[in-house]
Structure 1
């Protein structure tokens, strides 16, 4: 099977929608006075994809000359079980709390799938001129699933708004108020003490 190993990476990188979403999750700058300008050599924005192709697992990296073969996938194996330790090994390179990368899975929109199934059932019902017991049960179920996807998407949008909101001005004002009321240093000392105790517990373990 012939394929272009860079095609998926190029498709993702050239998608303005994905690029905008990706960049919107960048952490807010705290106090930057000398911003580093990006150069053509910067490789921060690119995608690495993993795909099962002809019974083998391939890694497709847009910055490499060709695909990386990670070996065969047994017929009884789920390819996700094969790729999971490879992805975890890659993630473990970064320090705890590192957020300068995203892990994404490209899947079909469930709402679109349910809507397509519902449309097919409604068309089938019209052709038959009646609804069978199966159709009477399945149509409400699909409508309920579509409604659930709408609710879920609303929650996702709310969570995304919270994650992207810049809380730094609020934090700065709060710290100023605490400092004026002579409460900042006591809180700092308590936090430092808790961190030291937590560190000691980890060392004992």
Structure 2
């Protein structure tokens, strides 16, 4: 794999991923974080187009199913990850480019990328993706503000690496899209009457159980249709039904305010995402320098420094993404 180059690390956060998708030029979808994978968690999020799973990377881990090498690769968009730190973008793009749903609009950049590279092999697709200026710029725009630069070569072999993969149904089968593999991992068929989320749930649970007891560094996010768009569509249908009937039922009187409240909530949530991103990108260095100067003048800096060293030593190895 190539050097990290100018691809930054991306935080596993639904707001970051949602804004990343917008930066790609895609619309009609957003990312929601899942705090549990218990039955019923997906009911308020449907339709769910795919899942993004973050886990601690284990070298030489065997795939949980056969790797696809046959003619299905002509229809499944799978790109080999050829550059470090790109796994977050690779995971979400893999889901988007394999999503066939009327809510999802890829936009001009991703549509052109798919059309141009669909006939390529997995490695050439990965090279095409990593050389897209639009995608790389969108990816790097999600970076947190870096005050000091550290030499990446100082990372030790004990550093923990984390990795993103995607799960989604394609043509009646469940696939795992992991750019570090040679192809998609086939997790088997999905019966016509079966919900694909019921199929993927035990697979993710088994994967988590592979790790030692006490390991909590996992994150699961869902790629879903734009919630505001869904609520506005439901509200429009309800208002049209009310006009046709010439009256509002008790159910309509309750449902219309609820949908308006949910639409307002989505607006507030997206505004919060933008504010959080602005804080991530803000340069806090002048404030930090002033604070350190005041602490030094009040003879508080050295005691705080010693306490910080003690806490840092207790945290253990650093975490990285691959």
Q: Which has the larger radius of gyration?
A: 1
Going from structure 1 to structure 2, the CA distance change for 1:129 and 1:192 (only over 3 Å counts) comes to same
Q: Is the 8 A contact 2:145 2:280 kept in 1?
A: no
Q: Distance in 1 between matches of 2:136 and 2:206?
A: 25
Query: Which residue is 1:156 aligned to?
Result: 273
Q: Deviations over 1:63-105 (max 9, x none)?
A: 654212245679587234234347758999xxx99xxxx9643
Distance 2:210 2:77 in 1: 20
How many Å separate the matches in 1 of 2:140 and 2:241?
44
RMSD: 4.4
Number of the residue aligned with 1:57:
174
1:50–1:83 contact (8 Å) kept in structure 2: no
Length-normalised TM-score, structure 1:
0.62
Q: 1:190 to 1:140 in 2, by over 3 A?
A: closer
The answer on 1:78 being equivalent to 2:198 is yes
Shift of 1:143: 1.5
Higher helix content, 1 or 2: 1
- Cα 1:28–1:155 shift into 2, 3 Å: closer
Distance 1:162 1:29, change over 3 A: closer
CA drift of 1:136 comes to 2.4
Q: Report the CA distance shift for 1:105/1:175 in structure 2 as closer, same or farther (over 3 A).
A: same
In 2: Cα distance, 1:84 partner to 1:140 partner: 37
Mark the runs of 5 or more structure 2 residues left unpaired by the alignment.
Answer: 1-70, 80-92, 98-109, 111-128, 154-162, 316-322
Residues 1-205 of structure 1 aligned to structure 2 (within 5 Å)? 2=72, 3-6=75-78, 8-9=93-94, 11=97, 16=134, 22-32=139-149, 48-53=165-170, 56-62=173-179, 64-71=181-188, 78-85=198-205, 88=208, 104-192=221-309
SS of the aligned residue for 2:224 comes to coil
Judge conservation of contact 1:73–1:82 (CA < 8 Å) in 2.
Answer: no
- Higher strand fraction: Structure 1 or Structure 2? 2
Distance 1:87 1:177, change over 3 A: farther
User: 2:44 maps to what in 1?
Assistant: none
Mapped to 1, the partners of 2:205 and 2:182 lie a distance apart of: 24
